[in-house]
């Protein structure tokens, strides 16, 4: 059922049936491809709702803000304003639409992981969540401070590579510390690889977003450039990175 919902969302996008939505398209497609499958899994196992929502708020909205701010400001990617519902609300850089996207992206990965891999019978939140909240708040404040004091440092060359490498560190820490976690993360990787690849190809095909920064390499898709950083960090490792954060800061880390 989850695969069917994802395929239906991608089909609607590729066939152009969502195009008339205009500025509502981005939010609507996010809800279709990430939100509906998440809702289905939560209905099947309501216990996962709290973990998913906390992860979405923490890693999606709180962590997502400084990450997206730097990536957008540095030109790591460019969002097409035609499909954005809300204007640039945060310091003229970050759209609320993007934080909504980050929230549901994280929510889907976590509830999927909890449903198909973890199957926890109880619900507990790790005390490490306080560390994650503090880090997220401090990161956001640091980015905002840099924006006002010395904005040029938020525009490094190869911004996507630097941001992605930083985001990868907790994943590496978790898998080195507990190698068996790698098998758990790998269990959901093939599914999300296909979901993210389909989403990215659709977005490039329809012009929802584009890549115009500095990258270490990439491929051509539908006449558009798809960076190697995007292929490796988001499409291939994205679900593993998210679930490693979840294990380290919210779940039991086992």
Which of 97, 95, 93, 96 is CA-nearest to residue 75? 93
pLDDT of residue 77 exceeding 80: yes
Q: How much of the chain, in percent, has pLDDT values that exceed 70? A: 97
pLDDT tens for 185-216 read: 999 999 999 999 999 999 999 999 999 889 99
Q: Is the predicted pLDDT of residue 49 greater than 70, yes or no?
A: yes
**Where does the pLDDT of residue 224 fall: very low under 50, low under 70, confident under 90, or very high at 90 and above?**
confident
Kindly give the residue spans of alpha helices, DSSP state H, lying in 59-128: 64-73, 96-113
Gap between the Cα atoms of 183 and 101, Å rounded: 27
Residues 51-56, mean pLDDT to the nearest whole number: 92
Mean pLDDT within 210-232:
92
pLDDT tens for 116-134 read 998 766 667 778 889 999 9
Element (H, E) at 193: helix 180-206
For residue 222, what pLDDT is reported? 79
Q: Residue range 56-65: average pLDDT?
A: 94
Dihedral over Cα of 92, 164, 125, 105: its sign: positive
pLDDT in tens, 159-187: 999 999 999 999 999 999 899 999 999 99
Give the percent of the chain with pLDDT over 90: 83
């Amino acid at each position: 059922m989850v695969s069917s919902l994802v395929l239906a969302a991608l089909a609607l996008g590729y066939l152009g049936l969502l195009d008339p939505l205009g500025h509502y398209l981005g939010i609507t497609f996010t809800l279709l491809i990430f939100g509906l499958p998440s809702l289905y899994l939560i209905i099947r196992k309501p216990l996962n709702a709290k973990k998913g929502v906390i992860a979405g708020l923490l890693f999606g909205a709180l962590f997502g803000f400084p990450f997206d701010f730097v990536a957008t400001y540095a030109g790591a990617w460019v969002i097409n304003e035609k499909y954005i519902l809300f204007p640039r609300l945060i310091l003229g850089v970050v759209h609320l639409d993007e934080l909504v996207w980050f929230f549901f992206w994280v929510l889907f990965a976590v509830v999927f992981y909890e449903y198909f891999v973890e199957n926890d019978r109880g619900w507990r939140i790790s005390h490490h969540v306080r560390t994650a909240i503090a880090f997220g708040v401090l990161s956001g404040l640091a980015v905002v401070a840099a924006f006002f004091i010395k904005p040029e440092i938020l525009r490094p060359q190869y911004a996507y590579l630097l941001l992605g490498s930083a985001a990868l560190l907790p994943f590496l820490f978790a898998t080195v510390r507990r190698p068996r976690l790698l098998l758990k993360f790998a269990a959901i990787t093939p599914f999300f690889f296909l979901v993210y690849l389909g989403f990215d190809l659709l977005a490039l095909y329809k012009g929802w977003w584009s890549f115009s920064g500095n990258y270490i390499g990439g491929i051509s898709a539908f006449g558009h450039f798809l960076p190697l950083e995007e292929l490796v960090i988001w499409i291939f490792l994205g679900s593993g990175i998210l679930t490693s954060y979840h294990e380290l800061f919210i779940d039991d880390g086992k």
